[in-house]
């Protein structure tokens, strides 16, 4: 089991990608902010099914954090991440620092709409512009054939697909199923913030969403069903619910009963904000 090549500059990254291309090799990318868990590793394995080389970026992107959010506390554990990448077979870790990604004088930012409207943007208004800017940079730096994103961050997945369509970025975006623990909790780097008692509460999120999605598919009124879901989460021990909403699966337009949908939620447990989503079958 060999550790991946570790590169921290765009110039060295491009040189390595160029060498791979000269050898006729295809390249996949998995963008991350580190603190890798089983969900991330599943993305690497999917990437290596699609391409012969896999680049994993590890960069805690400051432009997607608001001043009040947990940028400084976000978990960073590079040595462990590299071990996990080696076990999954990733060949290259791209670990730029902030000055490499946003050098002095950096003044460009991508503004996104469409699936970025509402939900997360109602509570984190700068988030998706930060995501779109850093993802576009990573794609232009790496020029991968494909990139793999988890469906746990479903709105982000839709935004990245829209970004590639709108800017003609020639990258196939692959959505990977959410990886969960034995109790249904979606894997997330922020789960590390939760105590054992809070983990027990957090595991109710997916269960409530599944019950609500089944009710919607069976004909329940959306407003009533999502309001009941919010009450159920608070009763289970969540401190606050930012949103629970049904949307169409592709563009995240308001859900119509004859369309496949997604039920998306964000809720607070102590100082930790958790998100999740489940499918809503069409009627």
Active site residues: 40
Q: Are strands 261-269 and 172-176 parallel, antiparallel or unpaired?
A: unpaired
For residue 189, say whether it is annotated as part of any ligand binding site.
yes
Cα–Cα distance between 65 and 33 in angstroms, integer? 12
For residue 153, say whether it is annotated as part of any ligand binding site.
yes
For residue 50, say whether it is annotated as part of any ligand binding site.
no
Tell me the two tokens of residue 197.
Answer: 């008692």
For residue 150, say whether it is annotated as part of any ligand binding site.
yes
For residue 91, say whether it is annotated as part of any ligand binding site.
no
Contact 38, 87 (CB under 8 A): no
Q: 238-242 — which CB contacts under 8 Å span 24+ positions?
A: 238/201, 238/204, 238/205, 238/267, 238/268, 238/269, 239/267, 239/268, 239/269, 239/270, 240/267, 240/268, 241/265, 241/266, 241/267, 241/268, 242/122, 242/123, 242/266, 242/267, 242/268, 242/273
For residue 35, say whether it is annotated as part of any ligand binding site.
yes
For residue 260, say whether it is annotated as part of any ligand binding site.
no
Output Rg (C-alpha) for the chain, integer angstroms: 19
For residue 207, say whether it is annotated as part of any ligand binding site.
no
Phi first, then psi: give them for residue 53, nearest 5 degrees.
-135, 145
Cα–Cα distance between 272 and 70 in angstroms, integer? 9
For residue 42, say whether it is annotated as part of any ligand binding site.
no
For residue 118, say whether it is annotated as part of any ligand binding site.
no
Between the alpha carbon of residue 202 and those of residues 29, 39, 241, 242, the distances in Å are 30, 17, 12, 15
For residue 190, say whether it is annotated as part of any ligand binding site.
yes
Binding residues for beta-alanine: 64
Binding residues for (R)-pantoate: 64, 156
Binding residues: 33-40, 64, 150-153, 156, 179, 187-190
Binding residues for ATP: 33-40, 150-153, 179, 187-190
């Amino acid at each position: 089991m060999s550790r991946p090549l570790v590169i921290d500059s765009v110039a060295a990254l491009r040189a390595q990608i160029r060498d791979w291309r000269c050898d006729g090799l295809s390249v996949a990318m998995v963008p991350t902010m580190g603190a890798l868990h089983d969900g991330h590793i599943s993305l690497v394995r999917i990437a290596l099914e699609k391409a012969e080389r896999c680049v994993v970026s590890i960069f805690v992107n400051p432009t997607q954090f608001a001043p009040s959010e947990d940028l400084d506390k976000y978990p960073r554990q590079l040595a462990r991440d590299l071990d996990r990448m080696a076990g999954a077979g990733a060949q290259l870790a791209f670990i730029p620092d902030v000055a490499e990604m946003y050098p002095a004088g950096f003044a460009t930012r991508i503004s996104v709409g469409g699936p970025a409207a509402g939900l997360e943007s109602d509570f984190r208004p700068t988030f998706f512009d930060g995501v779109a800017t850093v993802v576009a940079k990573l794609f232009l730096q790496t020029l991968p054939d494909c990139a793999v994103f988890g469906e746990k961050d479903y709105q982000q997945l839709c935004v990245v697909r829209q970004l590639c369509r709108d800017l003609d970025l020639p990258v196939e975006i692959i959505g990977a199923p959410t990886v969960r623990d034995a109790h249904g909790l979606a894997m997330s780097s922020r789960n590390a913030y939760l105590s054992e008692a809070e983990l027990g509460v957090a595991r109710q999120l997916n269960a409530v969403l599944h019950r609500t999605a089944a009710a919607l598919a069976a004909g329940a009124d959306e407003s009533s069903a999502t309001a009941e879901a919010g009450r159920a989460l608070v009763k289970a021990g969540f401190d606050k619910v930012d949103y629970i909403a049904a949307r169409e699966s592709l563009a995240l337009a308001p859900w119509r009963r004859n369309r496949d949908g997604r039920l998306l939620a964000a809720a607070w447990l102590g100082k930790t904000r958790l998100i999740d989503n489940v499918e809503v079958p069409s009627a």
